[in-house]
A = this chain, B = another copy of it.
Amino acid sequence: MIIVMKADASPEQISKVAEQVENIGLKPHVIKGSERTVIAVVGDEQDATVSAMETVPGVARVLPILAPYKVASREVQQEQTVVTVGPLAVGGGNVGVIAGPCSVESREQILDSARAVFASGAAGLRGGAFKPRTSPYSFQGLKEEGLKLLAEARAETGQAVVTEVVSPEDVDLVARYADVLQIGARNMQNYRLLEAVGQCDKAVLLKRGPAATVDEMLLAAEYILDGGNRQVMLCERGIRTFESHTRFTLPLATVPWLQARTHLPVVVDPSHGTGHAALVPSMAAAAVAAGADGLIIEVHPDPQNAASDGGQTLDFIAFEKTMAMCRRVAEAVGRQLN
């Protein structure tokens, strides 16, 4: 923490702040500048007491220096984590692709989707069985029946099954069928759920909340890692901004920024990130060029009749073309895509 004193803070006020820092067992470094004094406290950045010092007389403001994540940090583990589940490899130069419909709707729909996206290069199959929906009146998913259909698709294609879990009590059930548990954007800070998947032996795909900072996303990952589960993938899926021509704003600079700070692989979701099928191919290619370790893309046999998210979903032909383009871009930046 850096405690910035007011320009007119008295010597007594400065001494008192330094003393308070010492009282909580941290070491104050008092630095007198030409215009004002700052007190640097290098130690436990989590200390709520230092942060509360903003209310002490003479203090102008308190600035944190360091982000408080630890286990997720590159400084703790230099080598990148590679998440490998069946044919799906995310990280280590591999661009792992997960594709499939927003929701599992029927046996035929999911099997057709699995075959088509697998043929185009997706080693992972996505499909929602438990759907968190903004409105209580929208389709809420097939639940366990949907999980069974996903497992049936895997039996045929061998793909890794990626599906969302929305509540701690469902973790065991979903983990029985799925290979990768997805934590949706709305649940990024549902700490009970993070703790539950942290104690599970399945890989986790953690989506960024639309208003979450990158530090908050890393701290959410920290909850999972702290529980003992080290197979965590981060997923950039767009943030809320003033832009309304896209559903969210997809900030790809997150990819290299995160990769410099964490060993966890970074996946990009251009479907939710844009909300419009017409923008997905370009943004998938852009994500690969930015260095993404994986992609997750919504694909459906008939997007116009999808039960959810049809407007942002590719059909099989558009997905095949997108994969071909992404494969060439991956090679151009020294990576490989199935």
Contact = CB atoms under 8 A, between A and B. Distances in A.
Interface in A288-338: 288-291, 303-311, 313, 325, 328-329, 331-333
A91 B94 CA distance: 32
Interface stretch (A50-58, A79-87, A118-126, A146-154): A50-58
A38 interface: yes
Interface residues of A, number: 111
A246 B242 contact: no
Task: Identify which of A33, A68, A310 gathers the most chain B CB atoms within 10 Å of its CB.
Answer: A33
A7 B75 contact: yes
Contact of A40 (B38, B55, B136, B241): B38
Contacts of A283: 252-253, 256, 290
Interface stretch (A109-117, A155-163, A172-180, A207-215): A207-215
12 contacts: A29-B31, A36-B42, A38-B42, A46-B135, A49-B304, A136-B222, A187-B190, A211-B242, A214-B245, A245-B257, A286-B286, A289-B289
Nearest to A75: B7
Interface of A: 2, 4, 6-8, 20, 29, 31-36, 38, 40, 42-43, 46, 48-49, 51-56, 62-63, 65-66, 68-70, 75, 132-139, 166-169, 186-187, 189-192, 209-211, 213-216, 219, 222-223, 226, 239-246, 249-253, 255-257, 260, 273-274, 276-279, 282-283, 285-291, 303-311, 313, 325, 328-329, 331-333
A154 to B, nearest CB: 26
Given A55-B304, A242-B241, A289 B288 contact: yes
